[in-house]
Amino acid sequence: MEIKLHSFLTSNLLNKYLVGETSMKESKEVEYFIDNYPEVASAYEKLQDNLEIIAKAGAVDVPNNILQDILESLEDNNETKVIQLVQNKRISWYSYAATAAAVLFAVSTFFLYQKNQNLVDENNVVVEEIFDLRSDIDNNNSKLEELSRELMKLNDPDAKKYVINGNERAKNLKTVAYINPVEKTSMIDVITLPKLPKEQHYEIWAEMQDRMVNLGILDESNRKLKQIPYVEDALALSIKISTKGDSINQNNAAVAEISLKD
């Protein structure tokens, strides 16, 4: 339906309807959109206001020297002269008047055409702004839905919360893990991480009965809940400082850890 609305607003039917150039079928279509879509009604009202402004602008007096310039130009053109007759003055006067009227009409027509083009451009801008606003609303709704899903996971009665504080090597470190053994999901919320040299980073590990499992890198710049792999029968979680590119780091000393067993 939004595609159909966008197609209508960019079809120039509103402009034709405003100046009475639509067929009966087109008029019914325009009136249907005006009655059922606030965006179209708003655009139509704006076109009416702009048309009123144009009508007022078109009533501006023509500069006094335009007609005189036209007459002088015609008089200077010797090729248009004919044999003088008794009634020549009257005929020339009517010719000048007709020419001046034609020029004034052409100027007015061009002026109105330019204004109409400006209205069309402005109408298209309004349409684009409407759809940009709709897109922003959709994006915000999507983020709210995602946040709502995350909150539901946190508030699930089966989810367990584990606060992981740093030891002497990382006193300001604090993260919170949410583990749901029923849904088999794990999430980590990074609250604070002490800064490290560029070549180092924090990693979170799951301690098993016979091995350690790397669950990923922790980065304070991403301050939102982060999904981490769920590990069945994990005994504890620990956070370690590792050097980038070092594949042998599971034996590094932990700077924070917590048991997952009651």
Continuous segment of H or E residues that includes residue 89: helix 88-155
Pairing of strands 200-207, 236-243: antiparallel
Q: How confident is the model at residue 83 (pLDDT cuts 50, 70, 90)?
A: very low
For residue range 45-59, list pLDDT tens digits in order: 887 777 666 655 555
Closest CA to 256 of 174, 178, 194: 174
132 pLDDT exceeds 90?
no
Q: Which fold has domain 160-259?
A: Immunoglobulin-like (2.60.40)
Entry pTM:
0.44
For residue range 158-179, list pLDDT tens digits in order: 788 899 998 988 888 999 988 8
Specify whether the CB–CB gap between 203 and 226 falls below 8 A. Answer: no
CA–CA distance, 244 with 41 (Å, rounded to integer)? 60
101 pLDDT exceeds 70?
no
Which residues on neighbouring strands pair with residue 188, listed in sequence order?
177, 226
pLDDT of the residue at 165: 92
Specify whether the CB–CB gap between 237 and 164 falls below 8 A. Answer: yes
Average pLDDT over residues 214-222: 82
Closest CA to 201 of 216, 217, 225: 217
84 pLDDT exceeds 80?
no
Provide the residue ranges of all domains of the chain, joining segments of one domain with +.
2-153, 160-259
